[in-house]
Amino acid sequence: MSQKPMSPKPRVAVIGAGLGGAAVAALLQKAGYPTQVYEQAPEFSRLGAGIHLGPNVMKVMRQIGIEERLEAMGSHPDYWFSRDGVSGDYQSRIPLGEFAKREYGAAYITVHRGDLHALMVEALDPSQLHFDRRLTSVDDTGSEVIMRFADGNTETADLVIGADGVNSRIRETLLGAEDPTYSGWIAHRAIVDAEKLKAYDLDFESCVKWWSPDKHMMVYYVTGDQREYYYVTGVKTPDWQHGTSFVDSSKEEMREIFHDYHPVVQALIDCTEAVTKWPLLERNPLPIWHKGRLVLLGDACHPMKPHMAQGAAMAIEDAAVLVRSLEAVGPEHYADAFELYKTNRFERASRVQQVSHDNTWLRQEEDPAWVFGHDVTTQELKAP
């Protein structure tokens, strides 16, 4: 008896080529889905920010095929230290390094976000990556999805993945227009030339978070050669009056805010050339993540404060589970696949959102295995 021919895989459009969008597109293309990626930015630049890649994310990078290159590029801290911002007393020492590889099955690295992004985008088919495409409307006709872009172009796809961030147009289509919530915290971001730090007789640790009740500063190297040292703060600030996503800050403003902090932090501020500040935005867990042929991923459905260093990680984990769900159920049953995806992501993403909101992660000694030891590439997919 002749076998029934397999139906061709559906055409997928990914809206947004950030870390989550690039991850899902790379995994879909690897799995044989014709996948187009639409990014509103005119091009990518090496934006000045760092990122933590825990073992939970590195396992997805292994699947994409860039784990080894990331390991060669990144900094490998032996510990995450939490210290009192003023006295410098140690509050926790969380082992990473060789311990992470042994216990969690992959490395824990810190890298420059732009370097990570460049590697992920390189993993995509360049002929299917489209810049300067800002989505203006999306129409699920029942048989396909019609997308219209600001440049006048119209495209169609069978399935559309909204990886388009906290102000997602796809989220808005599913749930209506609603601004994200300002969390009451801002973040400062700066990259310091580590060469300048050599003038100080101080220990600049590979991965350390300085804490006090109303502010903190997370500091780590973003390159394996330790040439670039990055800090990101969290500062309680009653309101955000600037309409933009970030504005310039200054060394003077940093000195004023962190005036009582440890000499190591003072040295970092002294060596700061440029620093920006950003509002930290959140949403409550969404009632739906998908409808018809549309599905959300990453910040589009669970934006969070960066206080666990797991925001991008959650988007990348989403990507792996979404593709696994399509493969497990069969893409023709996309509604079931999307529900399987949500079932296996909602609880974890919501928990990480909450812990990030509470800003308690690794402040004291705790076992981080529930985050770092998780493997979305092999976890059993629970039925809805």
C-alpha to C-alpha distance for 235 and 214, rounded to whole angstroms: 6
C-alpha to C-alpha distance for 375 and 57, rounded to whole angstroms: 8
**Beta carbons within 8 Å of 198's beta carbon, 6+ residues apart:** none
Coil, helix or strand for 178? coil
C-alpha to C-alpha distance for 306 and 319, rounded to whole angstroms: 19
The letter for the amino acid at 144 is E
Please provide the distance, in angstroms rounded to a whole number, between the alpha carbons at the two ends of the chain: 35
C-alpha to C-alpha distance for 66 and 22, rounded to whole angstroms: 13
Q: What is the dihedral of CA 202, 203, 204, 210, to 10 degrees?
A: -90
Q: Which residue's structure tokens are 């310091």?
A: 192
DSSP 8-65: PPPPEEEE--SHHHHHHHHHHHHTT--EEEE-SSSS----S-EEEE-HHHHHHHHHHT
Q: In sequence order, what are the beta bridge partners of 13?
A: 36, 160
C-alpha to C-alpha distance for 11 and 147, rounded to whole angstroms: 13
The letter for the amino acid at 78 is D
C-alpha to C-alpha distance for 190 and 233, rounded to whole angstroms: 9
Task: Report CA-CA distances (Å) from 145 to 39, 110, 159, 171, 185.
Answer: 17, 38, 7, 15, 38
Q: Which of 309, 320, 321 is nearest to 359 (CA)?
A: 309
C-alpha to C-alpha distance for 16 and 168, rounded to whole angstroms: 9
C-alpha to C-alpha distance for 53 and 313, rounded to whole angstroms: 7
Q: Which of 23, 181, 6 is nearest to 117 (CA)?
A: 23
Using the 8-state DSSP alphabet, how is residue 364 labeled?
S
| Residue numbers annotated as active site | 52, 220
